[in-house]
């Protein structure tokens, strides 16, 4: 007898402040075999222009949904098992809010966190400040694997090895 599960089929969660762009829309989607990209971000869930621009990057056979953090938490467990979900968030704080809200995130691909004033660069594509480090620590304490990698064929690096303040 088959056991019924309500766990959504989340193939991967990616932090990328660019959200959906060429790398995400083509390379990662194809690599994962995803048929649905869920962008969880409060601002983008309200911005139809940005949504349209991101939709243009995706192949026609891939669907995209743009939800606020709370709506993602509320409905992710209603996803059909046929939905192979690639979950994309803008920053580590959105990822932490989802995890704390009960979204079953076990692995996060840290793809892109742009450098800005007050942040320090820890890899070619990832810059963090103290608040980011604290959020990454909380995720790690919750058992989430944190893998820094731009594209699928790159060798990933554990973010804990890149952040010196991170107790391993």
Q: Which of these is catalytic: 21, 31, 93, 107?
A: 21
| Strand bridging mode 145-148 / 85-89 | unpaired
Which token pair is 60?
């026609």
**What is the rounded distance in angstroms from the CA atom of residue 136 to the CA atom of residue 145?**
10
* SS3 (DSSP) at 76: helix
Judge contact between 155 and 168, C-beta under 8 A. Answer: no
**Other C-beta atoms within 10 Å of 32: how many?**
17
The beta-carbon contacts of 100-106 under 8 Å, at least 24 apart in sequence, are: 100/142, 101/69, 101/70, 101/72, 101/73, 102/73, 102/77, 103/8, 103/10, 103/72, 103/73, 103/76, 104/7, 104/8, 104/10, 105/10, 105/13, 105/144, 106/143, 106/144, 106/145
21 a catalytic residue: yes
Annotated active-site positions, please? 21
């Amino acid at each position: 007898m088959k056991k019924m599960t309500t766990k959504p089929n989340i193939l991967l969660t990616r932090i990328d402040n660019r959200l959906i762009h060429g790398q995400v829309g083509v390379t990662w989607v194809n690599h994962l075999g995803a048929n649905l990209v869920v962008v969880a971000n409060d601002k983008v869930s309200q911005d139809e222009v940005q949504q349209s621009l991101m939709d243009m990057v995706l192949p026609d056979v891939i669907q995209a949904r743009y939800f606020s953090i709370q709506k993602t938490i509320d409905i992710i467990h209603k996803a059909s098992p046929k939905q192979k979900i690639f979950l994309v968030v803008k920053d580590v704080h959105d990822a932490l809010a989802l995890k704390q809200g009960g979204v079953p995130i076990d692995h996060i691909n840290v793809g892109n966190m742009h450098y800005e004033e007050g942040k320090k660069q820890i890899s070619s594509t990832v810059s963090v400040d103290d608040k980011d480090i604290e959020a990454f620590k909380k995720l790690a304490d919750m058992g989430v694997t944190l893998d820094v990698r731009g594209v699928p064929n790159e060798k990933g690096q554990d973010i804990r090895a890149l952040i010196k303040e991170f107790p391993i």
